[in-house]
Structure 1
Amino acid sequence: MTKVTVRQMTPAEFDQWQAAIAEEYAVEQVAAGRWEPEGAVQRARDENAQLLPQGLQTERMLILRGVDIDEEPVGRAWVGLDHPRGAQDVAFLYDIEVIETRRGRGLGRALLEAVEDGARRAGAVALELNVFARNHAATALYSSAGYDVITQQMRKSLRQGCVEDAAG
């Protein structure tokens, strides 16, 4: 089995991650039809800054780098130990991603397990996340890892001849 451990990101890794996650989150929100493209990246940066007011030092946030057995980076994760909607003892996975060149080797599952272990050690009894419906690989991974759908958000375009993916 592939082994991944997690450690706190370094300040340099954090800075790179902040730029990347804002871009990626903005793209997802625009694709889901939630945001307009104009200003989306800045909106993502602003939302992240509200959640991480002290950056890496923000209390009750785990900002993690996944590394393999050789201590080589394989991915990243961001876990809030306080659920954004107040669920007691439930951590929230804001972000998880395997580096693109390292995908397809079982590292996603191993990183998810390492993140779950980190959240468990920090006192969480459950871990919750959101996944966009069009992210089929992630949905399959979470399902096979024992995650259950607890809510589902659906959308239908009312414009004639237009079909949109449901946001989830």
Structure 2
Amino acid sequence: MLKMTPMSTADFERFRASSAADYVEQCRLTGLPSLAASQAGTLAGLDALLPQGPATPGHYLMLLQEQENGATVGMMWFGEVSNDDATSAFLYDLWIAPAWRRRGFAAAALALLAEEARLRGLDSLNLNVFAHNTAAQALYRKAGFVASEITMVREL
């Protein structure tokens, strides 16, 4: 149904721009001015996390492609994160193109990620999700994720 293919440099440039724009939009949708992000600031943050772009060690930037016809249905970025005695996979971004949504591709991508993390000997999968994104929360719960911490904000 779905396979992961490493992004090319051109793919990464498209991902970089769209991921930053989506993050800015998600921050706006929170309705909290303190979480507002700028496109330039978000791009700077991405560049700090990925100084070598798709070749940054410990980070995996993947195209999600339909196995049958090779059509790109989305993109995923995950990395290896070490804390204490464990190393986990952190899902930084999962995006499915609008035309391909509601067809099981996000769930399939999470299953691929879990298998990839197991093969790499990682202990767990972690991610952050915006509180207003109830559809993503439902997807993650269905895939076996549980809340490990909740960050709350009060505007003054």
After TM superposition, the score normalised by the length of structure 2 is 0.90
What do you get for the CA RMSD once the two structures are aligned? 1.6
The offset of 1:18, in angstroms, is 0.5
Aligned to 2:74: 75
> Share of identical aligned residues, percent?
30
Q: Does 1:125 align with 2:123?
A: yes
The offset of 1:123, in angstroms, is 2.6
Distance across 1 between alignment mates of 2:5 and 2:120: 13
* Larger Cα-atom Rg: 1
Q: Paired residues, what number? A: 152
Flag the 1:154–1:35 CA change in 2: closer, same or farther, 3 A.
Answer: closer
The offset of 1:122, in angstroms, is 2.5
2:17 to 16, 19, 23: 19
**Once superposed, which parts of structure 1, at least 4 consecutive aligned residues long, lie more than 4 Å away?**
none
Aligned to 1:100: 98
In structure 2, the residue corresponding to 1:81 is in which secondary structure? strand
Greater percentage in strand: 2
Q: Which runs of 5+ in 2 are unaligned?
A: none
Amino acid aligned to 2:40: Q
In structure 2, the residue corresponding to 1:151 is in which secondary structure? coil
Distance across 2 between alignment mates of 1:63 and 1:139: 22
| Between 28-37 and 137-146, the greater mean CA deviation after superposition | 28-37
After TM superposition, the score normalised by the length of structure 1 is 0.84
Greater percentage in helix: 2
In structure 1, the residue corresponding to 2:23 is in which secondary structure? helix
